[in-house]
Structure formats: structure tokens, C-alpha cells
Amino acid sequence: MNKASVDHMHPTKPSSSPKSTNGLLSRAFRPREKITFTEKNVLSVAGVVVFFAVWITVSATGLVPAFFLPAPIDVATKLFRIIAEDGFLFDIWASTARIMGGFFLAAALAIPIGVVMGNFPFFRAFLEPLFGAARYLPASAFIPLLIIWLGIGEDQKWAVIFIGVFFPLTLMIADTAATVSKDLVNSAYTLGAKSRQVFAKILIPACLPAVVDNLRITMGIAWTYVIVAELVGAERGIGIAILQAQRFLQTDQVIAGIVTVGIMGVITDIAFRVLHRKLFAYLY
Amino acid sequence: MASIAINGVSVAFPVAGADRLALSDVNTVIKDGEFVCLLGPSGCGKSTLLNVIGGLVDATAGSVKVGDHHVSKPGPDRGMVFQNYSLYQWMTVLENIEFGPRLNRWPEEKCRDVADRLVELVNLSDFAHEYPKALSGGMRQRVAIARALAMEPEVLLMDEPFGALDAQTRTRMQELLLEIWTRAKRTVVFVTHDIEEAVFLADRILVMGTRPGRIVEEIVVDLPRPRTIECVASAEFAEYRRNIIDMLRH
């Protein structure tokens, strides 16, 4: 029985407990104070509502001219119009396909290299300085070089995403792979496992859930770089749609493009979470 | 079953360039089927000594013999149970227990038999197909014990296996452990910093001290077996406990 219900049973007792059922606002500034499931949802919705309320107010009052900041409804209308009339879905698909190419290429290399780095200090020592430095190289700075090397076709876009994702992802995977408890390894050795078996049957399955989480997090980087890569020149893509809109001063379309990236980000995030639950049902 | 002979074992770890002695010249013989507790404060090297017996830590000097074999690496003749987090989360209770036998390519039927028998021994038949996530702390440690027993080890090495459990669960686990030990007679080396736990479980307690880690005293616990939790209330039990507290004070 929690403290709150005890207080209900003895209403005459003065409540000194910090956990008493005060209003939500009075608990807002207490560190680590729990909120209920309903309160959490209400607050989450409230955050979104406040954001749009500010936006609507600012554009409706003319505080910022519609040319610079169109109202949400205008952006939404524009979004539907470019989907219906300009084939914006093809742009979305073009960007998504690029991400799949560059991101999965990066993941396909980062997962084995990261897992090896995380579990074999020998290889970690060998590779870490290179990767540690490479992580700070901005993928966008590689674009001129990549254009010289690869031209401005699809492979150049893939390469930008690859460079942006591969290095940080590898290091994240190396770190999470290294955190697998030593006790798991030792118990397997005491059960007669050879080091190859410890790696294949214990260390790899033990770090997979964290690896998939790492993929989810670095997916955000991929969405950033696909837009940058497309700004250089592409037939279709969300980035190119944004760039063209800017040339014609169509602020509503620029914002519609940005919002679309946000929506796609949320969708991929949810997809990864669902995948995580499916693959690692034993953790839930 | 096997006896354990520890001869002049020292372990030094390099700390900040210099070697620090974690264990200094430990000598003892643990008899066949004996239940021995290594008791002492943090930093006395009790876990290090256990790991040397288990083959997970190399002795800097001296040697350990289990039965007729010199210990040089971990092996299925010495089952180990750790304090926590050592279950394979992606395997069910049964799969965890079967892990050793399958790894060593025992015949299918024998793997099944061993796992079924052990899951029953630790009272987890109803949870055989659950994943560790769904189990309480006490249940998880029972799986860990069953998994260590699956390879039919001659020696069972336990590193504060009940340290993270609440008091009631710990008591029940101690009773269960003694029951298992009686039924499947094995040499047990059990590391703990809990005096009552050591007195309740052990035939003999090796009290260890720090700086450097070493055995400072040896106490034979002559309480009648089978021991149940009632024995904790006896005058003899209190006597053992007081003696050890005095011993650890200076």
C-alpha cells in the first residue's frame, strides 16, 4: 500500500510525506517525483499543443509575416498539395531509399567491426585512434571530395550517409559490446566453453539488443545527412524539394519538407522499437 | 568429488605501475565433500582466491590442485556461481541449465534428463520455459546454481551468490543450498562477508584479512546437520558468531 492511500484513510492526520497526493503543479519541481501514466500523456499532448498554439498565435497576429512563417494549416495544406500534385511521395521514397542504402551499408560494416572492437582489446587498441578521430570528421565536409571521386549520382549520396553514420555507430557498438558483464563470459568458460564459443554464443547474443538500439539512435544522423547530400543535386528527394522551394521563396514548402523529415524520423524510430520488441521479446 | 589443495598461492595485480599483493602465501586443503566458507571484509582477496581455484585468475606464485589436476584454466569440473547478472537473458530457464551439457555435446537425451532433474531440484519446474527477466532475484540464483551443477562438477565455487537478495529470500536460499549439497554431495567453496551465513552453511570457515589478503584464522563449525534456520537461534551459533566478530575486529 502506498503512502498516498494511507493518507486517504487518515484524513485528519497532517501529511508530512513528500509523496502525498498534491496537485500535479506542486509536484512539478520536485526532483524525480513520479507522475501517473495519465499525467504523463496529458503533459506530452500539452507540449505539442503549446508548440502549435505559439506558432498559430505568432502567424495569426502577424507578429511574423506569413511570408517568413506560414500558419500550420497552410503548411499542412501545402504538404497535401505537393503530395497530390508534385509527386512528393516520390521524393520521400527517394530519400528513404538513399538512407536504406547508406545506412545499411554503414551498419553492415559497423556491427562486425564494433563488436570485434568491443570484445578484443587487441583490435580496439589498433582501431580506436583512427575511429576516434574519424568521428569528428563532418560528413558534409567530405561532399566536395566525394563529388570528385564519385560524381553526383546515388553512390555519392550513399557515401555521405555512410561516412556520417559509420564512424559514430562503430564506436557506439564497440562501447555497448564492451559493457557485457564479465560474469557471463566467466560462467561460460567454467561450463567448458572455448573462447570462440564464448564469443559466438555469449558475447554476440548478449550485445544484440543494445546494438539494435544503437542503430535506432544513429538513424537520426542518417536523416540529417540525406538532406545535406541531396542539397548538392538530386533528381528527387526531400532535400531537393526543400532547396527548390527556397529558390522560389515558398516558405510553406520548405517547412512542409522539414516537417516531413520529422515525421519520417518518428516513423523509423517507432519501427525500430517495434523490431526491438519482436526480436528481443525476452527483455519485455 | 574432489579435494582442493592450495599451496603457497600469491596473487599480485599491477596497480598504477606497482604490483599490489591481493593474496599472500595462502595454504590450505579443502577435503572431499567439505563445505568451506571464505569469510572476510572487502579487499581481503576472498573472491580472488575463489577465482584462482576456478582458473579465472592466474596465481603469481604457488599452485592449486583440484583432485589430481593442477588448475591452469577454467573447466567444467569446477562449477561457478556468481553474485548476479550471470544468466543468459535470451535463453529460458531450461536452456540456461542445458547450456553447458549442449556446449559439450552430451547426447540429447542426457541433456534433457540433467536439465529436468536440476530444474526440479531447485524448485523451478513451473518456470522452466520462462526467461530470466520474468524471475525474482532468488529464482535467478537458483537457475545459476542449477546451471553450474549441470556439468556435474566435482567442486562448486560460489562468489557471494546470495549477496544481492533480501534477508528472507537469502535464508530460504541457504536452506535450499544445504539441501542440494546433502543430496548431491560436492565440495563447496563459498565466498561471503556475512558472518551468520558462513556459520550457518560451513563445515569450516577460513577467515581472511586484508593488506595483504591472507587466511588469518580457521574455524571448524561443529553444529549438527541437517541445519535448519532454527539453529541460528541456538547458543552455540551465537558463540561462533561472537568469536568471529571479535576476530574480525582487530
* Statement: residue B138 has pLDDT above 60: yes
Higher-confidence residue of B229 and B35: namely B35
pLDDT for the residue A55: 93
Judge whether A153 and A237 are in contact, CB under 8 Å: no
A175-A180-A181 Cα angle (round to 5) = 135
Q: Is A282 on the interface with B (CB under 8 A)?
A: yes
Structural domain tally of chain B?
1
Whether residue B76 and residue A190 make contact (CB cut-off 8 A), yes or no, is yes
Range A177-201 average pLDDT: 91
Residue in B with minimal Cα distance to A193: B103
* Statement: residue B90 has pLDDT above 90: yes
Among partner residues A183, A205, A282, which is closest to B131 by beta-carbon distance?
Answer: A282
Residue in the structure block whose three cell numbers are 546454481: B145
Q: What is the pLDDT of residues A115-147, one digit of tens each?
A: 999 999 999 999 999 998 888 888 888 888 988
| Residues in chain B within 8 Å Cβ distance of A189 | 55-56, 73-74
Residue in the structure block whose three cell numbers are 579465472: B56
Range B13-38 average pLDDT: 86
Task: Give B235 to chain A, closest Cα distance, Å.
Answer: 38
Whether residue A206 and residue B90 make contact (CB cut-off 8 A), yes or no, is yes
Whether residue B103 and residue A197 make contact (CB cut-off 8 A), yes or no, is yes
Please state the ipTM of this predicted complex: 0.87
Range B193-222 average pLDDT: 87
Residue B162 lies in a domain: no
Whether residue B133 and residue A282 make contact (CB cut-off 8 A), yes or no, is yes
| Residues in chain A within 8 Å Cβ distance of B163 | none
Task: Give A191 to chain B, closest Cα distance, Å.
Answer: 5
| Four-point Cα dihedral A233, A236, A239, A240, nearest 10 | 60
B129-B130-B134 Cα angle (round to 5) = 175
Whether residue A184 and residue B86 make contact (CB cut-off 8 A), yes or no, is yes
Residue B113 lies in a domain: no
pLDDT band of residue A5 (cuts 50, 70, 90) is very low
Of B166, B150, B171, B149, residue with least CA distance to B158: B149
Residues 6+ positions from A176 with CB-CB distance below 8 Å:
A118, A207, A210, A211, A213, A214
On the CB side of A166, CA atoms within 13 Å amount to: 20
Among partner residues B74, B84, B131, which is closest to A190 by beta-carbon distance?
Answer: B74
Residue B143 lies in a domain: no
Task: Give A194 to chain B, closest Cα distance, Å.
Answer: 9
* Statement: residue B125 has pLDDT above 60: yes
Of A209, A208, A211, residue with least CA distance to A219: A211
Distance CA A169, CA A132 (A): 11
pLDDT for the residue A21: 57
Task: Give B147 to chain A, closest Cα distance, Å.
Answer: 8
DSSP string, A236-271: S-HHHHHHHHHHTT-HHHHHHHHHHHHHHHHHHHHH
What sign does the dihedral A36-A38-A41-A47 (CA atoms) show? Answer: negative
Q: How many CB pairs under 8 A join A and B?
A: 73
Higher-confidence residue of A10 and B249: namely B249
Q: What own/partner pairs with CB < 8 Å and gap ≥ 24 does B121-124 have?
A: B121/B146, B121/B149, B121/B180, B121/B183, B121/B184, B122/B146, B122/B176, B122/B180, B123/B176, B124/B93
Residue in A with minimal Cα distance to B81: A187
Judge whether B207 and B247 are in contact, CB under 8 Å: yes
pLDDT for the residue A94: 92
Give the count of beta carbons closer than 10 Å to the beta carbon of residue A82: 21
> Helix B137-150 crosses helix B108-121 at what angle (to 10 degrees)?
140
Strand order from edge to edge, sheet including B155-159: B78-81, B155-159, B187-192, B35-39, B204-209, B214-220
Which 25-44 residues of chain A touch chain B by CB within 8 A? none
Measured CA to CA in angstroms, residue A280 lies from A200, A211, A237, A274, B84 at distances of: 17, 12, 34, 10, 21
Cell triple for A105: 551499408
DSSP string, A125-155: HHHHHHHHHHTTS-GGGGHHHHHHHHTTSHH
Whether residue A191 and residue B76 make contact (CB cut-off 8 A), yes or no, is yes
Distance CA A251, CA A230 (A): 18
* Statement: residue A110 has pLDDT above 90: yes
pLDDT band of residue B250 (cuts 50, 70, 90) is low
pLDDT for the residue B59: 83
Looking at residue A14, what DSSP letter applies?
P
* Statement: residue B139 has pLDDT above 50: yes
Distance CA A88, CA A83 (A): 4
pLDDT for the residue B95: 92
* Mean pLDDT computed over every residue of chain A: 87
Q: Is A192 on the interface with B (CB under 8 A)?
A: yes
* A232: three-class secondary structure by DSSP: coil
* Statement: residue B58 has pLDDT above 70: yes
Task: Give A196 to chain B, closest Cα distance, Å.
Answer: 12
Q: pTM of the predicted model, to two decimals?
A: 0.82
DSSP string, chain B: ---EEEEEEEEEEEETTEEEEEEEEEEEEE-TT-EEEEE--TTSSHHHHHHHHHTSS--SEEEEEETTEE--S--TTEEEE-SSS-S-TTS-HHHHHHHHHHHTT--HHHHHHHHHHHHHHTT-GGGTTS-GGGS-HHHHHHHHHHHHHHT--SEEEEESTTTTS-HHHHHHHHHHHHHHHHHS--EEEEEES-HHHHHHH-SEEEEEETTTTEEEEEEE----SS--GGGGGSHHHHHHHHHHHHHHH-
Query: What is the distance, to the nearest Å, from the Cα of residue B15 to the centroid of all Cα atoms in its chain?
Result: 27
Task: Give A121 to chain B, closest Cα distance, Å.
Answer: 18
* Statement: residue A8 has pLDDT above 60: no
* Statement: residue B44 has pLDDT above 50: yes
* Mean pLDDT computed over every residue of chain B: 87
Range A258-274 average pLDDT: 92
Residue B244 lies in a domain: yes
pLDDT band of residue B93 (cuts 50, 70, 90) is very high
| Residues in chain B within 8 Å Cβ distance of A197 | 103
* A13: three-class secondary structure by DSSP: coil
Residue B36 lies in a domain: yes
* Statement: residue B170 has pLDDT above 70: yes
Burial of B220 (0-12, 13-18, 19+ CB in 10 A): exposed
pLDDT for the residue A253: 93
Residue B137 lies in a domain: no
pLDDT band of residue B240 (cuts 50, 70, 90) is confident
| Residues in chain B within 8 Å Cβ distance of A206 | 88-90
Share above pLDDT 90 across residues of chain A, in percent, rounded to a whole number: 61
Residue in A with minimal Cα distance to B133: A283
Range A235-248 average pLDDT: 89
Distance CA B46, CA B44 (A): 6
B22-B24-B29 Cα angle (round to 5) = 115
Indicate which CATH number applies to the domain containing B245.
3.40.50.300
Residue B198 lies in a domain: yes
* Statement: residue B16 has pLDDT above 50: yes
Indicate the range of A215-224, B151-160, B231-240 predicted with least confidence.
B231-240
Indicate the range of A18-27, A35-44, A48-57, B76-85 predicted with least confidence.
A18-27
Higher-confidence residue of A258 and B182: namely A258
* Statement: residue A190 has pLDDT above 50: yes
Task: Give B34 to chain A, closest Cα distance, Å.
Answer: 20
How would you classify residue B100: left for phi > 0, otherwise alpha for psi between -120 and 50, otherwise beta?
A: alpha
Tell me the longest C-alpha to C-alpha distance in chain B: 55
Range B75-98 average pLDDT: 89
Share above pLDDT 70 across residues of chain A, in percent, rounded to a whole number: 92
Domain that holds residue B235: 1-71+182-250
Residue in A with minimal Cα distance to B130: A282
* Statement: residue B153 has pLDDT above 70: yes
Residue B53 lies in a domain: yes
Range B67-83 average pLDDT: 86
Among partner residues B78, B85, B88, which is closest to A190 by beta-carbon distance?
Answer: B78
Residue in B with minimal Cα distance to A284: B133
* Statement: residue A13 has pLDDT above 80: no
pLDDT for the residue B1: 60
* Statement: residue A9 has pLDDT above 70: no
Looking at residue A117, what DSSP letter applies?
H
Task: Give B151 to chain A, closest Cα distance, Å.
Answer: 7
pLDDT for the residue A234: 77
pLDDT for the residue B210: 82
| Residues in chain B within 8 Å Cβ distance of A284 | 133
